[in-house]
Amino acid sequence: MVKKLYWKGFEQTVENSNVVAFMRAQKVKSFEGLLQRSQDDIEWFWNAVNQFLGIEWYAPYTQVLRANKGIEWAQWFTGGKINITHNCVDKHINTYRRHKLALIWEGENHEIRKLTYLDLYREVNRVAEGLKDAGIRTGDAVGVYLPMIPETAVTLLAIAKIGAIFIPVFSGYGPEAIASRLNDASVKLLFTADGFYRKGGVVEMKKIADAALRMSPGVQRVVVFKRLHIDVPWTDKRDIDWESFVQDKPVISPTEKLTSETPWMVIYTSGTTGRPKGAVHVHGGFLVKQAEEIAFQVDMKDQDILFWFTDMGWIMGPWEVVGGLAMGGTLFFYEGAPDWPKPDRLWEMVERHRITTLGISPTAVRAFMRSGDQWPNAHDLTSLRLFGSTGEPWNPVPWMWLYKEVGKQRCPIINLSGGTEIGACFLSVHPVKPLKPCSLGGPSLGMAIDVFDDNAQPVRGKVGELVCKKPWPSMTRGIWHDPQRYTETYWNRWPHVWVHGDWASVDKDGYWFLHGRSDDTIKVAGKRVGPAEVESILVSHAAVTEAAAIGVPDPLKGEALACFVVLKPGYTPSEELRAELVQLVASALGKSTTPKTIKFTGELPKTRNAKILRRFVKAAYLGQQIADTSSVENLSSLNSIAQAV
């Protein structure tokens, strides 16, 4: 059993944490007591959070939770009037935060821009007035296909300000994926850019957007931000450049007073086939939950600078903007690749901007680890006080590398897990408890999470389905225009229980762990095997830096393990090494799970935020046609997999 780890400065962190301040205000003596009460009495908890965090309402809510249509369709803070943008920007303008930095941005070409809360307020108002002049009204859908630049946050907040619906589109998508989202959401106006820098090259966004727009006849206007000032295709009467769009617009604009259940965002989950799923999020519940997580999980203080390496098309983009600004913190955005032009670009930015909170994926950490300790060690990273992580299970070796080599045992790793439809986190480490490598700590506050066996009974000490038994404020209000798909996807297995599709377990010390997606589970000779478990075993070998495990058809076992590994510099593929790795898995998991094959590859397919895409590995292995590769950052990896096969 892995021992608990207390980071340097643990006692001081606990004493000064936001969650301990909340405990004192509620006269709760222990974190365990707070967690239990927050799960037993969710209405008490979320009402107390509202008051403690200073969420401002135009009109107070009359009921914290209303579930008269079942918890699947729960409504929160009913009767209240609110607006996300008021709480993220407007309310700070008449405080000392008026001239405080709200956002720092760095481009891949080292260009830097900074916006105070007053700057942000003025820019948001100008865009809001531009939207109204363009005919956009409450309930209209506005698409945002932009890189991570300040204008991306500005558009998000301007859209929310007037009560329109924000439709974020991942900046790495191709035309078909963009068009499917624009059409599904009935987008009327699209924000895009001429292009942006990525790994030293130029991504011509406007050209990609135009290709998508040829398949999206409902889009009436296109606003183009000139990031690169390059020549781009232009359609008169439809296209307008950003400066013309906001020219002469007032820097003061009224904020719409909206009911708490007014939709503010439809964000789409990624997938390779079928119509995309649009998760619907609303002003009241999303705002309160994000502010709570930023306050209690990543413990944001006034002086903190939060950098979560993500894209606005993923849920962590809106998460950091809404939660971070609602808490009055400073955000950091970066446009390009974290290892360009050298492997220390990320560490260089942490040092230069004195970033305090860094959100990073396990796969990205493995890539940095592969480059060598000398890169982070060459920089002063003492500004960091905690790491955040989400998106996939950890392996022990990269977790310990981040904790020891980068954080120097000073910074807790706030490992959390949620999802696009959750709009938040089911599980999270909280900075008031000691760490266990790779653990997610336990349930997030106010979240009635459990692990069920196949008979819907709670289990401990073994793997089961991660479930939620009560509603929470930021839960999706359904799938856009498809309520049946929503209930069938998440509520159909057990009555009034949300089944998220993750394998989880709770150890004897009460620490929670994830073991991969249940739909990724490999069943070898009747035994369930999680790919993350296999991958952890493989990367524990001194020669292996990354791994992906998939299930492939087998005439005898039904399914068999096929594994792909990326080797560290200095190691070369050989039959001897292959045999070692096969034996390593077999020894750890049993002879019946001996891998059918282990292939060496130069790279694995990943998203831009460095999440390994196993479904593409499997498709390449089986020789299947891949319909949509727009979420793959490194398309060359698919050739690498195919060659390995």
Percent of the chain with pLDDT over 70: 97
Asked, for residue 636, whether it belongs to a domain, the answer is: yes
- 425 vs 392: CA distance, rounded Å: 13
Q: Using 50, 70 and 90 to split pLDDT, how confident is the model at 609?
A: low
Cis peptide, bond prior to residue 341, ω within 30 of zero: yes
Domain that residue 636 falls in: 521-644
Asked, for residue 78, whether it belongs to a domain, the answer is: no
Is pLDDT above 70 for 626?
no
Asked, for residue 583, whether it belongs to a domain, the answer is: yes
pLDDT at 2: 66
Q: Using 50, 70 and 90 to split pLDDT, how confident is the model at 272?
A: very low
Report CA torsion sign: 395, 397, 399, 402.
negative
**Do residues 459 and 421 make contact, with C-beta atoms less than 8 angstroms apart?**
no
Q: Can you give the CATH number for the domain in which 621 is found?
A: 3.30.300.30
Asked, for residue 36, whether it belongs to a domain, the answer is: no
Three-state DSSP at 594 gives coil
Longest dimension (CA), the chain: 72
Q: Tokens at residue 508, please?
A: 């004897």
pLDDT at 273: 41
- 590 vs 573: CA distance, rounded Å: 24
pLDDT at 214: 97
546 beta partners: 566
Q: Tokens at residue 220, please?
A: 């009436």
pLDDT in tens, 498-507: 998 888 999 9
Report CA torsion sign: 253, 257, 262, 265.
positive
pLDDT at 528: 67
Asked, for residue 626, whether it belongs to a domain, the answer is: yes
**Do residues 522 and 559 make contact, with C-beta atoms less than 8 angstroms apart?**
yes
pLDDT at 248: 96
Is pLDDT above 60 for 31?
yes
Q: Using 50, 70 and 90 to split pLDDT, how confident is the model at 271?
A: very low
Pairing of strands 278-282, 263-268: antiparallel
Asked, for residue 539, whether it belongs to a domain, the answer is: yes
pLDDT in tens, 102-155: 999 999 999 999 999 999 999 999 999 999 999 999 999 999 999 999 999 999
- 465 vs 502: CA distance, rounded Å: 6
- 475 vs 71: CA distance, rounded Å: 10
The count of structural domains within the chain is: 1
- 406 vs 195: CA distance, rounded Å: 33
Percent of the chain with pLDDT over 90: 80
Is pLDDT above 60 for 570?
yes
Strands in 165-168's sheet, in edge-to-edge order, are 239-241, 221-225, 187-193, 141-144, 165-168, 263-268, 278-282
Q: Using 50, 70 and 90 to split pLDDT, how confident is the model at 169?
A: very high
Asked, for residue 105, whether it belongs to a domain, the answer is: no
**Do residues 509 and 439 make contact, with C-beta atoms less than 8 angstroms apart?**
no
